[in-house]
Amino acid sequence: MCGIVAAVSDRNIVPILVQGLERLEYRGYDSCGVAVHAGGLRRARSTERVAELMQQVTADGLTGTTGIAHTRWATHGAPAVHNAHPHFSHGTGAAEGKPGKVALVHNGIIENHDELRASLQARGYVFASQTDTEVIAHLVDSLYEGDLFEAVKAAITQLHGAYAIAVFCKDEPHRVVGARAGSPLVLGVGEGGREHFLASDAMALAGVTDQIVYLDEGDLLVCVRSASSFSPFEIKKVSCMSRAGCSGGKLSALKLCQSSSISGPSDTTKPTRLNISIISRRISESG
């Protein structure tokens, strides 16, 4: 069973991501990987144990404050490095020599991946793996117009099947977007609210945070980190948003059911040190 860990913070989160994967090893896996924003998208993947992945990222000097990680149990494609998560989309055309634009990890099975793959190939996307996950990465890229949240929101309306995803992109190094339908995903709030985490199992965040929010079926969220480096900090959370008037699997209206906020010191004379906003939106699977 696959595992997801993701984070947005103001510190290097690579050790947290990889250690989170170690806590998910009990679920079984045949490959693993991690990707971070480090002036661009960088990743390390392996078909060995997570301990070997840790050695690899240490040797490569892989660090970053925004990132995602994954353990994979093969469903589409053999257990090979090119099929391991995270998957990148480099845009249309061959990936060689081009920077990654979108990085994504996924649990679940996308039932209409063949149809989506054919459509994306017709638009010029080249696939490096046999996975349904790479289909989602390219789909998000194809819909990206400067707002990752909106691109993911549009992409998931085209997905048939089960998924929990975490995704970030080159042009928005301060954001991680997550979504779930049929596969679990949890949100973890770090100490003082200065960082947030996503994981497929709260076990991955043991020792990192004891503040866990279990996302509801159909939730879509974004964790945003500000670029400033001063206090105070503030978190705003809007949750339990349900859709009304759904038709044909498209988002037509949202109804706010609940909201809350957590704030740090009230000193407003300094710029915000870290501002992580979380927006959860319920999207009905049934239409």
> pTM of this prediction?
0.79
Q: Are strands 234-243 and 275-279 parallel, antiparallel or unpaired?
A: parallel
Q: What is the pLDDT of residue 246?
A: 29
Q: What is the pLDDT of residue 205?
A: 93
Q: What is the pLDDT of residue 12?
A: 94
Cross-strand partners of 88: 103
The ranges assigned to domains in the chain are: 3-217
pLDDT along the chain (287 residues), means of 10: 88 93 81 92 87 90 94 63 83 86 93 95 93 93 95 94 94 92 90 83 91 88 62 30 31 26 31 38 39
Q: What is the pLDDT of residue 78?
A: 60
> Long-range pairs for 203-207 at CB < 8 Å and ≥24 separation?
203/23, 203/24, 204/3, 204/4, 204/5, 204/20, 204/21, 204/23, 204/24, 205/5, 205/20, 206/23
Architecture of domain 3-217: 4-Layer Sandwich (3.60)
Q: What is the pLDDT of residue 79?
A: 62
State phi, psi for 43 to the nearest 5 degrees.
-150, 165
Q: What is the pLDDT of residue 85?
A: 75
If phi > 0 it is left, if psi is from -120 to 50 it is alpha, else beta; for residue 205 that is alpha
Task: State the Cα–Cα distance between residues 221 and 7, nearest whole angstrom.
Answer: 13
